[in-house]
Amino acid sequence: MFDIGFWELVLISVVALVVLGPERLPHAIRSVSRFISSAKSMANNVKDEINHELKIQELQENLRKAEQMGMEDLSPELKSSVDELKKAAQEVQRPYAQKATETSKVEVETKPLSTESTAPADKKAE
């Protein structure tokens, strides 16, 4: 990756030992290893998200092709990808639909009907 050989690593470790000293060197090594592992983890997460988005884009393209073909003479692969895309679209829309209905219910419940109805609510809040 960085093209660092054995002798370069030995030189870096000797310089680190001289600069940091034997007491702080283990702590510095642990800190560097944690940083490297978190960077690798973040890179893997980004890679997984990109792969997921590419799969979604491929499914959308397959759906467009299917719509253009008239959905009659589809290959089995294309039919399965269309079904997967429809299921994914329904799953994505469900949480938003539930949140929208909950939000509208909360808005209706929190709107005061008159000034008289807000007075008891204020007393309850105290």
pLDDT by position in tens, the chain (length 126): 567 788 998 999 899 989 988 899 899 999 999 999 999 999 999 999 999 999 988 888 887 887 777 666 667 787 787 788 888 877 776 665 566 666 655 555 555 554 444 445 444 444
Q: What is the pTM of this model?
A: 0.45
20 and 28 Cβ atoms separated by less than 8 Å: yes
Q: Fill in the DSSP letter of residue 12.
A: H
15 and 27 Cβ atoms separated by less than 8 Å: no
Distance CA(13)–CA(7), nearest Å, equals 10
Distance CA(97)–CA(44), nearest Å, equals 32
82 and 62 Cβ atoms separated by less than 8 Å: yes
